A and B are shown apart, each in its own frame.
Chain A
Amino acid sequence: MSSRKKLLLMGRSGSGKSSMRSIIFLNYSAFDTRRLGATIDVEHSHLRFLGNMTLNLWDCGGQDVFMDNYFSSQKDHIFKMVQVLIHVFDVESKSIKKDMEIFVKSLTNLQKFSPDAKIFILLHKMDLVQIDKRDELFSMMMEKLQNISNPFQFKLVGFPTSIWDESLYKAWSQIVCSLIPNMNLFNNNLIKFNQILDAEEIILFEKTTFLVISSTSSIKQQKQPDLQDEETLDPKRFEKISNIIKTYKQSISKLRTNFHNLVIRGSNGTHFYIDILTDNLFIMIVLKDKQLTDSTYVSSHEELVVLENIKAARKWFEKIENGK
């Protein structure tokens, strides 16, 4: 697999591009982003992702002086060989006309130099919009942007985001997953693994960013999808988990260490296992107590079995990562 992926991060100055990049890839907290200055020209970062994939992230400073260059003298340099364009809009922007102008220019150049690129739209700083107005604003904006893109034959995928909640993780998980060629292998193997474990849920996370790569629900639920409606679990739980684990990583960095695994026996008979699966992946397994008896011996025995199973699954997933 040749796997250098070029991602363009575009949008007006102050829309939040560098903030989200720092949070997802550099372990900043949302609070830390207040220290960021305006990006000068383009800042490149090369991030190893899932072992043999390299994400080349081009954070394009959004001040007009730089923008003008991107669309003139630098246009082939910037827009060539792009896999993904991530266009960020500040929902509180005062100059929507200018925002749209820039967007159209990006589309024009992208169509010319990388017509196969995928485009993701992030309607950002949603935290500043009243909660009950967010859905409406989001669909209105997306409709408008899609109309603008139609002549260029681009199909947009949009997300409402904010650095102050977990929405950012959801958006970036999907962006990154769109770049993984063997996604369905991950999914299939996860289902196989669950046939052994019979877990409520299994989730795979990329190790450095904690973005969700793949997940599977319980076998019972897959056979009877209507069960899902009764399910009252938090639909945002994956992103929240990413957020919680990142907070945990940051917390124990105070002890100048990292974590290997985390096993929780919860208040409702739920057991959680978060463990290293491969060099690039973390796995989280959620199990429910099958029997009502709760002897410490049984449960600590079960803990060992699950951890051993994770070890055994390591080989499968390493193979997928290496593209074999």
Chain B
Amino acid sequence: MEATYLPNPNDSNATILLMGLRRGGKSSICKVVFHDMQPLDTLYLESTSKPTSEQFSSLIDLSLMEIPGQLNYFEPEYDSARIFQSVGALVYVIDSQDEYLNALTNLSMIIEFAYKVNPKIHIEVLIHKIDGLTEDYRIDAQRDIMQRTGDELLDLGLEGVQVSFYLTSIFDQSIYEAFSKIVQKLIPELPSLENMLDNLVQHLSIDKVFLFDVNSKLYVATDSSPVDIQTYEVCAEFIDITIDLDELYVDENGEQTNKEIKSISRLSNHSLLYLRQMIRGLALVALIRNDDENLNDMDSMLTVVNYNVNLFKQALMQMWQNSKFVKKTNDVNESLSVDRLH
């Protein structure tokens, strides 16, 4: 691999390649997840005809590349081999409301090619637009698609290839859930991050904690307890509530101090929602249980939480500085982002 590696200006980015037949929902997914577009507004999206690429900066820098369905990437003018080599994840979108047999043939062809040039590539299949399907039909479609894909790969002699499947729709949280998991696989520090979060959960009476990318509401890490979709939604919406209120009183002509945002809400069932801004557009959001009604205990508990979250943040900063994704060329950005914390 190393020998054929071509210098690429974006090589410090983790690249996600979005593929699939046309009208499958690729552009819609990009717009909804990364540009805050309302799901219904995607009806007016024009069909994409050229490959597009966008950069996002989160804990890691992400490139998202969309390749339109009607394009034949195996034509010589596209250096497909080079593209696939630098890609971290291939996300293939299948329209589950449509006849999908063609898509499956297309998918195995792409997997065969991608795997050959880059055996480390993560292959992620979105069984998309499931909002139109009944619960039973969803399960059937998933089983059928997994079965057929498996058979095709077997025929191609690729039985070792790992393929992950997700049921998704832009009309609910499922697309965020799926993309969160896809992005997480590209973060080399994920195991240590999860460890640190598990530590927090163990020492404080935390029900669930997420490390969110504020912009997209994807979570780049969470503790190891299962994700309950309702808790995820409440935590993600808590970010919006906090930011929306904060922005109302930011005087645009005044100086911007950019202090760390912190938000705590006490709920009637004695739980707490807790938010702290981290580095690089991230925020930690936790749902903290508190069975004790005593206010003073609550305050001493908060002191402990604050202390531990401070430690977490410091560890995060350190981790990021040592991260292999930070190249010398990024030094300028790095100091900028760190400045913002003070």
Contact = CB atoms under 8 A, between A and B. Distances in A.
Nearest to A270: B249
Contact of A233 (B246, B249, B303): B249
Contacts of B234: 251-252, 254-255
A5 interface: no
Interface in B226-257: 230-231, 233-234, 237-238, 240-242, 244-246, 248-254, 256-257
Interface in B243-298: 244-246, 248-254, 256-269, 271, 273, 287
Contacts of B240: 247
Nearest to B340: A267
Interface centre among A200, A231, A234, A252 (most CB of B within 10 A): A252
Contact of B248 (A233, A252, A294, A296): A233
B105 interface: no
B251 A232 contact: yes
Contacts of B258: 267-268
A132 B337 CA distance: 39
A264 B246 contact: yes
Interface residues of B, number: 41
A268 B250 contact: yes
A319 interface: no
B331 interface: no
Contacts of B250: 266-268, 270
Nearest to B275: A264
Contacts of B249: 200, 233, 237, 266, 268, 270, 272, 286
Contacts of A25: none
A285 to B, nearest CB: 12
Contact of A269 (B241, B259, B264): B259
A251 B237 contact: yes
Contact of B269 (A240, A255, A261): A255
Contacts of B252: 232
B302 A255 contact: no
Contacts of A286: 249
Contact of B265 (A232, A262, A269): A262
A264 B251 contact: no
Nearest to A245: B241
Contacts of A233: 248-249, 251
A300 B256 CA distance: 22
B256 A264 contact: no
B136 interface: no
B265 A261 contact: yes
Contact of A241 (B230, B245, B261, B303): B245
B245 A244 contact: yes
Contacts of A248: 237-238, 241, 265
Interface string B305-327: 01000100000000000000000
Interface of B: 230-231, 233-234, 237-238, 240-242, 244-246, 248-254, 256-269, 271, 273, 287, 299, 302-303, 306, 310
Given A256-B269, A260-B268, A261-B266, 16 more contacts: A231-B251, A234-B248, A237-B248, A240-B248, A251-B234, A251-B238, A255-B267, A260-B265, A262-B265, A262-B266, A265-B262, A266-B245, A266-B249, A267-B246, A268-B256, A294-B259
Interface of A: 200, 231-234, 237, 240-241, 244-245, 247-248, 251-252, 254-270, 272, 286, 294, 296, 300, 304
17 contacts: A232-B251, A232-B254, A244-B244, A247-B237, A251-B233, A251-B234, A252-B267, A262-B264, A264-B262, A264-B264, A265-B261, A266-B261, A267-B246, A267-B259, A268-B257, A268-B258, A272-B246
Nearest first, the 10 A-B pairs at minimum CB distance are: A266-B246, A260-B266, A251-B237, A257-B269, A262-B265, A258-B268, A264-B263, A265-B262, A254-B230, A248-B241
